Amino acid sequence: MSSQPQHPVRVVQLGGLMPFVRSWVAERYAAPALADLDDPAGVEVAVVGGGAAVGAAEMDALPDLRAVVNFGVGYDNVDVAEAARRGIVVSNTPDVLTDAVADLAVLLVLDVLRRASAADRFVRSGAWARGERMPLARDVRGAVVGVLGLGRIGSAAAARLEAFGAEVHYHSRRPRDVAWTHHVSPVDLARASDVLLVLVPGGDGTRHLVDAEVLDALGADGFLVNVARGSVVDEDALVAALEDGRIAGAGLDVFADEPHVPAALLRRDDVVLLPHVGSATTGTREAMGRLVLDNVDAFLERGELVTPVG
């Protein structure tokens, strides 16, 4: 006997939503997971989490789908062009995670320059007690941080870094009305930077935007920090640049094939590795969940989204 609700199902869950978001969506809309759906007829909204793919196959499985509500600011997991072709609208959760991600971006910049994580490992290993000396680190004040992608999060991170005394440069598709120095290409930005901070959206348009040429321009004294998407950086080129000493180190919150991290990175002391936790604070994730509900409510009630993409 089916456990499906007896009234029509209008909302379905897709992907790895956080437990409290699953509960909210189930309680508010009696929304089952897609795998538990008996009949897709009448399902108008898919609430998507965990970067689950929403492409032609998923849209075919939900013939009455009219909206995709994505839990996250990035939406490269959704085939937006195919959705538009079918008249399906897409939303994400911008703004509410700007501060958390910007904070983490700054934390990684500080860490790779001041070697905080490496120093922690140095103490825990007993090296300090044995009388060994920790290598000197780099100053944040006076360092040039190149922000690749001066959107909401990039701007917030840049303002924070400026408060630490860093000199901010940036590249975006067009110059912004800001006091920071604009560069016409990622290569030019990398060449001018001590730290290249990557904060562009994911997707085909930015795939391997940071390639071997950009890494070579960053140089042997430069650091890469990526808090965007793993796809933006050519991971093989990054590993090669680190192993060859063509860049000084990296701070990474995202990877090409999460949760898998190249073994070559795991063994390096000049790389800081985080498990994609840019927005992972209780308050931020709850705010993201509330914005998901606001989008679903608005669509079911008025046929529109609060935060549509595009």
Active site residues: 229, 258, 276
Q: Are 134 and 269 in contact (CB under 8 A)?
A: no
**At residue 185, what are phi and psi to the nearest 5 degrees?**
-150, 160
Task: Count the Cβ atoms, other than its own, within 10 Å of residue 305.
Answer: 20
Q: Are 252 and 265 in contact (CB under 8 A)?
A: yes
3-state SS assignment for residue 213 = helix
Bridge partners, 223 (sequence order)? 195, 249
Q: Are 288 and 276 in contact (CB under 8 A)?
A: no
3-state SS assignment for residue 303 = coil
Residue 91 is which amino acid?
S
The two three-digit tokens of residue 135, written as one number: 């290598």
Report d(CA 275, CA 112) in Å as an integer: 16
Report d(CA 268, CA 85) in Å as an integer: 46
Report d(CA 147, CA 156) in Å as an integer: 11
Residue 24 is which amino acid?
W
Alpha carbons within 13 angstroms on the beta-carbon side of residue 297 total 9
